Amino acid sequence: MENLKIELTKNPKKKPGPGDKLGFGTIFTDHMFLMEYDKGIGWHDARIVPYGPVSLSLASTCLHYAQETFEGLKAYRADDGRILMFRPEENFKRMNISNARLCMPELDVDFCVECLKKLVDIDKEWVPEAEGASLYIRPMTIGIESRLGVKEADNYLFAILLSPSGAYYESGLKPVKIYVEENYVRAVRGGVGFAKTGGNYASSMLAQHVAHEQGYAQVLWLDGVERKYIGEVGAMNIFFVIDGEVITPELDGSILAGITRKSIIELLREEGYKVTERKLSIQEVAQAYEEGKLQEVFGSGTAAVISPVGELKWGDKVMKIGGGEIGPISFKAYQTLTGIQWGRIAGPEGWSVEAARL
Ligand SMILES: *Cc1c(COP(=O)(O)O)cnc(C)c1O
């Protein structure tokens, strides 16, 4: 690619070995991708450079008025040595939706995918080998104009960081306990809930903290107006299996359109399951539980793929789901998606994108 400059590191770092604990998001590879945007010029200076800090004015708009968006996806090491990414163009398309909402410039999706492939190819030796481990990919756009006036920036930085990360589940898929949040709200329709932006996380941290202190892994957000309809969980969308029907909240503008969510809906429909996107109230879930019809609950997101929910606490009511085991539909979705991601199952056309070969 002629408009991509590459500067390789002269000091490659020691890569983690197969036995090293990777955790999540603390180790970075040798290289990163950067490009800038200036009003009137557009995006320019696309480059792959050694990973390291960049200098930034403390008056940058991203630091004061939260003009920032991000994405998250992974590269997987297939058994045959291919390095595969899962639907990467969907991430850049979604970043464009987030950027538009925050008055930030649009990216060229195909160009970003090509640059990402090149970056992953350069750092392919960093894609971990251990079962379930992968290379986490973090694209981000930030406003970097140095000006305290409240107005969208004229200058932006787009970056892609790569971080080898450990398996989400170290000892099998364990159901998590979730707490239905009744005091705080995450987003409202018309706000930025559908954008992948740091502000949504800043506003959700206190509730998350309180839930953790009470022994719950995550909070389940209800809609911000009636405090009744189910939204999503932390960094995951949520699915319920009620009386054989798979139900997930509709995309109403207040929840994130997860790529895992969309993929699960497509896969389960393909398998013949009835999958419905609609409004679903917490009262309806509680009633289904009372009637013995609440069969499975699971979260979906890039990090965990599928996260079975074993307990849902709503006020004084504790709903126990699945008897500590993952349900059959949750398991089916997990097996199929991870199979496609690791190149063991051929998925629908275009879902697996090869970035490199070892
Ligand atoms: C990223 C994210 C998700 C999951 O999206 P995937 O594309 O499936 O990883 C869900 N909810 C929120 C708030 C998120 O930020």
User: What pLDDT digit, counting tens, does each position of 254-292 carry?
Assistant: 999 999 999 999 999 999 999 999 999 999 999 999 999
Q: Whose CA is nearest to atom 14 of ligand 1?
A: 235
Cα(301) to centroid(ligand 1), Å: 5
Please report the atom of ligand 1 found closest to the CA of residue 261.
8
Q: Give the per-residue pLDDT at 234.
A: 87
Query: Which of the listed residues 236, 260, 298 should we mutate to test ligand 1's pocket, taking the one with most ligand atoms within 8 A of CB?
Result: 236
C-alpha 30, offset from chain centre: 23
Q: Give the per-residue pLDDT at 172.
A: 72
Please report the atom of ligand 1 found closest to the CA of residue 186.
13
**DSSP-derived pairing of the beta strands 82-86 and 73-77:** antiparallel
User: What pLDDT digit, counting tens, does each position of 223-245 carry?
Assistant: 999 999 999 998 999 999 999 99
Q: Give the per-residue pLDDT at 125.
A: 97
Q: Give the relative orientation of helices 259-270 and 328-341 as an angle to the nearest 10 degrees.
A: 110
Please report the atom of ligand 1 found closest to the CA of residue 301.
8
Please report the atom of ligand 1 found closest to the CA of residue 300.
8
User: From residue 301, how far is each of 30, 157, 195, 219, 283 by CA, in Å?
Assistant: 27, 26, 15, 15, 25
Q: Do domains 5-166 and 176-341 have the same CATH topology?
A: no
DSSP calls for 23-70: -SS----SEEEEEEEETTTEEEEEEEEES------TTBHHHHH--EEE
Q: Which two tokens stand for residue 85?
A: 């990414």
**Ligand 1-lining residues (CB < 6 angstroms):** 72, 196, 232, 235-237, 256, 258-261, 300-302
Cα(41) to centroid(ligand 1), Å: 32
Please report the atom of ligand 1 found closest to the CA of residue 233.
11
Q: Give the per-residue pLDDT at 111.
A: 98
On whether the 5-166 domain is CATH 3.30.470.10, my answer is: yes
Q: Which two tokens stand for residue 45?
A: 């200076």
Share the mean pLDDT of the chain.
Answer: 96
Q: Give the per-residue pLDDT at 1.
A: 73
Tell me the one-letter amino acid at 149.
Answer: G
What percent of the chain stands above pLDDT 70? 100
User: What pLDDT digit, counting tens, does each position of 281-325 carry?
Assistant: 999 999 999 999 999 999 999 999 999 999 999 999 999 999 989
Cα(247) to centroid(ligand 1), Å: 17
Reading the chain (358 residues) residue by residue, the pLDDT tens digits are 779 999 999 999 999 988 899 999 999 999 999 999 999 999 999 999 999 999 999 999 999 999 999 999 999 999 999 999 999 999 999 999 999 999 999 999 999 999 999 999 999 999 999 989 999 999 999 999 999 999 999 999 999 999 999 988 776 788 999 999 999 999 999 999 999 999 999 999 999 999 999 999 999 999 999 999 999 998 999 999 999 999 999 999 999 999 999 999 999 999 999 999 999 999 999 999 999 999 999 999 999 999 999 999 999 999 999 998 999 999 999 999 999 999 999 999 999 999 999 9
Q: Would you list the domain boundaries of the chain?
A: 5-166, 176-341
Cα(145) to centroid(ligand 1), Å: 28
Task: Tell me which of 3.90.950.10, 3.20.10.10, 3.40.50.300, 3.40.50.10420 is the CATH number of domain 176-341.
Answer: 3.20.10.10
Q: Whose CA is nearest to atom 1 of ligand 1?
A: 235
Exposure string for 153-166, b = 16+ CB within 10 A, e = fewer: bbbbbbbbbbbbbb
Query: Which of the listed residues 302, 337, 338, 351 should we mutate to test ligand 1's pocket, taking the one with most ligand atoms within 8 A of CB?
Result: 302
Q: Give the per-residue pLDDT at 171.
A: 67
Please report the atom of ligand 1 found closest to the CA of residue 263.
8
Rounded CA-CA distance 270/251 in Å is 20
Cα(234) to centroid(ligand 1), Å: 8
Q: Map tokens 């960094």 to a residue.
A: 235
Please report the atom of ligand 1 found closest to the CA of residue 91.
7
Nearest to 4 by CA among 143, 89, 121: 121
Cα(85) to centroid(ligand 1), Å: 16
Q: Which two tokens stand for residue 26?
A: 């603390």
Cα(8) to centroid(ligand 1), Å: 32
Query: Which of the listed residues 94, 232, 256, 263 should we mutate to test ligand 1's pocket, taking the one with most ligand atoms within 8 A of CB?
Result: 256
